[in-house]
Structure 1
Amino acid sequence: MRDAYMKSDPAFIDWRAGKSLDPAERWADWHTLVTAATSRGVEVRRARIASTPISEYIRFEYEVTEGLNIAAGEQVRWLSRREATDIALPGNDFWLFDAQLVLVNHFDGEGENLERELNESPESAKLCETAFDAVWRRATPHAEFRPL
């Protein structure tokens, strides 16, 4: 839900410098994990909310999505922040597992990862599920999304 993450990430730095990236190689552990899950029939969905026109970092994410996320079997959709005004969103990025477990990602003001928190509160899980479903219904599939 941020417009920039981990600007210290070597992959982002290399991308900014114009170096060629192989996302499946660069993030091999993630690619292997998601590929194994989706091969077993697990549905992995990722929704990205971004300001438009998009930031440099979101352009980077957009450009590696096909070779990393989609190639591993993730479904990815994008939603312009302008279209999310009436959706009640949690204050932090999150991953929701089995509609019960929330992995909350905490970042500092510059987008650097501070910590992750596991939250098993049914109320938190329901909020995250409701928010994600609302975003997912409204968002555009990656193949159809045209960043500005």
Structure 2
Amino acid sequence: MLLDGEDWQRVLHGFSRSAFRLETLPAYKVAGEAEEIEDFLNGNRIDPVTYTSGWTERLLAHRAAGRTVQRVHLVTRPLSDYLRYEFMYYEPHAKAGEDIRILDLTDRANPGLPDQDFWTFDDSTVVLMNYEPDGTQIDRVLVAGETDQYLEWQRIAVAESVPFADYVKAHGWQ
């Protein structure tokens, strides 16, 4: 089943315990980000201490309600301009309660994870995130049936990754 609009928002924000995202692409083409990326490339940065957004507000609400939000992003160095831009937002997102982790595959083999972005919610719902090669989103598909393989990929991704802050510190990007 395709998820869009209000249906997608209900799934994305209606979980009761946990949300997990596996990100596999070096860049995503998101409407409205082109100007922000250009600003970033020209040296403009957000203040991670004072930055707030709808997403940080939701993260704070999830954390206050005892819900967890976690993501693992697969990367290779050198990081794409998009990843460097996205990393700028990871710090305030982490401060708001998102457990962001990085799995750097530059000098190691992929531990068996798919080349497919997905979300899991409450260990029972899976949504595939389908993209064009350039990172333009095609659609979101609710997976019907068995979720065990996605939960195993989630387990591997978390076990093999490092916390975002540790990754940034290890690579001197503070």
- Residue 149 of structure 2: which of 127, 132, 137 is its match? 127
**Aligned pairs (5 A) from 1:63-74:** 63-67=88-92, 69-74=93-98
| Change over 3 Å in CA distance of 1:86–1:142 after alignment to 2 | closer
Distance in 1 (CA, whole Å) between partners of 2:110 and 2:99 is: 23
SS state of the match for residue 90, structure 1?
coil
- Residue 97 of structure 1: which of 121, 125, 148 is its match? 121
For residues 39-61 of structure 1, give each alpha carbon's deviation from its aligned partner in whole angstroms, at most 9, with x where no partner exists.
11111111111012221111112
CA drift of 1:86 comes to 4.5
* Higher alpha-carbon Rg: 2
Show structure 2 runs of 5+ residues with no match: 1-23
Distance in 2 (CA, whole Å) between partners of 1:30 and 1:38 is: 12
CA drift of 1:22 comes to 5.4
Who is 1:58 aligned against? 83
Give TM-score scaled by structure 2 length: 0.72
Q: Is the 1:11–1:21 contact (alpha carbons within 8 Å) kept by the matching residues of 2?
A: no
Who is 2:163 aligned against? 141
For residues 95-117 of structure 1, give each alpha carbon's deviation from its aligned partner in whole angstroms, at most 9, with x where no partner exists.
10011111211111111112111
- Residue 114 of structure 1: which of 122, 135, 138 is its match? 138
Q: How many residues align?
A: 143
2:9 paired with 1:5: no
For residues 84-132 of structure 1, give each alpha carbon's deviation from its aligned partner in whole angstroms, at most 9, with x where no partner exists.
635222342111001111121111111111211111321xx21111111
Root-mean-square deviation over aligned CA pairs:
2.2
After superposing on structure 2, the runs of 4+ consecutive aligned residues of structure 1 that deviate more than 4 Å are none
Distance in 2 (CA, whole Å) between partners of 1:33 and 1:53 is: 31
Who is 1:15 aligned against? 40
Show structure 1 runs of 5+ residues with no match: none
Distance in 1 (CA, whole Å) between partners of 2:104 and 2:110 is: 12
Q: Is the 1:90–1:128 contact (alpha carbons within 8 Å) kept by the matching residues of 2?
A: no
When you count helix as a share of all residues, which structure comes out higher? 1
Q: Percent identity?
A: 24
CA drift of 1:83 comes to 6.2
SS state of the match for residue 34, structure 1?
helix
For residues 52-74 of structure 1, give each alpha carbon's deviation from its aligned partner in whole angstroms, at most 9, with x where no partner exists.
2221111112222102x212201
Who is 1:35 aligned against? 60
Which one has more relative contact order, counting CA pairs under 8 Å at least 6 apart? 2
